[in-house]
Structure 1
Amino acid sequence: MKNLLSAAFVSAVLFTACSKKESAGFDAEQQAKIQYDTVAIDSFSTGAVSVDIARKIRMSSPQYLDSVKQAKKLQEEEKKLKEELDKEKQKKLEDEKKKTEAEKKQKTSDATPVNTGAKTE
């Protein structure tokens, strides 16, 4: 009997010790899950995009690059037009100078008396 009682006690201890319990891994899996932050990020919190980085992103966009190319083309066209206008103005000024010089020469040649060799007294 004594053996039977001790055997029952040992078997009860083994049953309780080896009984199926919730594993500790279940809690560990829940804790290991990634918690996603769904809170809006304002400009002062960590992870917010700085003004410089946002500017770089905007500047690298294809739309911005196209607008820069277009602006350069417009500037070049304006520069060419200005150069052409300046050349035309210079040509006009040179023509006017030549005309005025020719008129002065004509006036001076008309105003000078022609010596015919006859003396007048």
Structure 2
Amino acid sequence: MKNILFIVFVSLLLLGACSKRKAVSMEEHVVNLHYDTTAIDSFSPGAMSVDVARKIRQSSPEYLDSVKQALKLQQEEKRLREELEKENKKKEEEKNKKGTEESTPIQTQ
């Protein structure tokens, strides 16, 4: 009986020692990042360079309309600034004229 228990114990020990170990993989610890875009291989069909994509976006009607609108706004602001400067110059000239007229005495002969 002792021999049988000893043989069973040794055989279980050998089976446990010789069995393949399960390797701890790093995949369990990898964090999957979720992006809102899909990566396209540069050699796959449908892949496009950044420059080509920019040119396509810039040629779209919405982009062109927004550029035209921005130019109109800049021109309007420039025109308003010029008008304000003209008005300010006129006011300064009038003040200078009034100031010179008041400072010079009237000469009578």
Q: What TM-score results when the alignment is normalised by the length of structure 1?
A: 0.52
Distance 2:103 2:51 in 1: 67
| Partner amino acid, structure 2, of 1:59 | Q
Runs ≥4 residues deviating over 6 A: none
Query: Within 5 Å, which residues of 2 pair with 1:86-105?
Result: 86-105=85-104
The match for 1:46 is 43
Secondary structure in 2 matching 1:52: helix
Secondary structure in 2 matching 1:84: helix
The match for 2:68 is 69
Secondary structure in 2 matching 1:97: helix
Using the TM superposition, give the Cα deviation of residue 41 of structure 1 relative to its aligned residue in structure 2, in angstroms.
5.8
Using the TM superposition, give the Cα deviation of residue 69 of structure 1 relative to its aligned residue in structure 2, in angstroms.
0.6
Secondary structure in 2 matching 1:65: helix
Distance 2:65 2:42 in 1: 34
The range that moved more, 80-89 or 45-54, is 45-54
Which structure 1 segments of 5+ residues have no match? 1-39, 115-121
Matched positions, count: 69
Using the TM superposition, give the Cα deviation of residue 45 of structure 1 relative to its aligned residue in structure 2, in angstroms.
2.2
Indicate if the aligned counterparts of 2:42 and 2:48 stay in contact, CA closer than 8 A. no
Distance 1:60 1:89 in 2: 42
Query: Within 5 Å, which residues of 2 pair with 1:99-118?
Result: 99-106=98-105, 109=106
Which structure 2 segments of 5+ residues have no match? 1-37
Deviations 1:98-120 (A, max 9, x none): 011011113xx58xxx9xxxxxx
